[in-house]
């Protein structure tokens, strides 16, 4: 059975997450050559394309793992009203997301602790620093 959600909302596309990678000089030189030859607009374009190609190559594995681990794929937003409803029901959420999980800024640390049993996010978790600190022991 999929995990229970609290007012899941699909919102506008959030800003991209920034990452840093280290590349050897030879790899970087080859990337620059492909950019210079017009195959890609810039280094980021090549790296993003390479990552997307790998994700396409492994799409079936990702699909199987998402199903096996009962992860929500995409964006999941938790509101204060939704978490209060979960709390009132006497249940607690097990948040399991592959993508982006957001906890509304008006959610207090106390409400988060009362309504959220565990958090597993493969991607990014956006919440206030206070809520993240309160849930630190429940984030895996």
Burial of residue 29, with CB atoms counted within 10 A of its CB: 0-12 exposed, 13-18 middle, 19 or more buried: exposed
Instruction: Kindly state the tokens that stand for 75.
Output: 């964006």
Neighbour order of strands in the sheet with 93-103 = 72-78, 93-103, 116-126
- pLDDT per residue over 94-127, tens digit each? 999 999 999 999 999 999 999 999 999 999 999 9
Q: Report the pLDDT averaged over residues 7-36.
A: 82
Determine the average pLDDT of the residues in 66-89.
Answer: 90
CA-nearest of 103, 123, 124, 125 to 113 is 103
Average pLDDT for residues 15-40, to the nearest whole number? 93
Q: What is the mean pLDDT of the chain?
A: 90
* Beta-bridge mates of residue 123: 99
* pTM of the complete model: 0.68
Q: Where are the beta strands (DSSP E) in the chain?
A: 72-78, 93-103, 116-126
């Amino acid at each position: 059975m999929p995990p229970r959600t609290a007012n899941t909302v699909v919102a506008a596309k959030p800003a991209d997450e920034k990452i840093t990678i280290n590349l050897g000089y030879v790899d970087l030189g080859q990337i620059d050559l492909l950019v210079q030859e017009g195959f890609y607009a810039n280094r980021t374009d090549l790296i993003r394309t390479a990552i997307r190609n790998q994700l396409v190559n492994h799409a079936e594995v990702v699909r199987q793992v998402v199903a096996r681990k009962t992860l929500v794929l995409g964006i999941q937003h938790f509101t204060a009203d939704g978490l209060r409803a979960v709390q009132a029901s006497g249940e607690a959420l097990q948040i399991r997301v592959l993508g982006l999980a957001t906890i509304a800024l008006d959610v207090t640390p106390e409400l988060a602790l009362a309504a959220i049993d565990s958090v597993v996010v493969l991607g990014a978790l956006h919440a206030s620093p206070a809520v993240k600190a309160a849930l630190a022991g429940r984030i895996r």
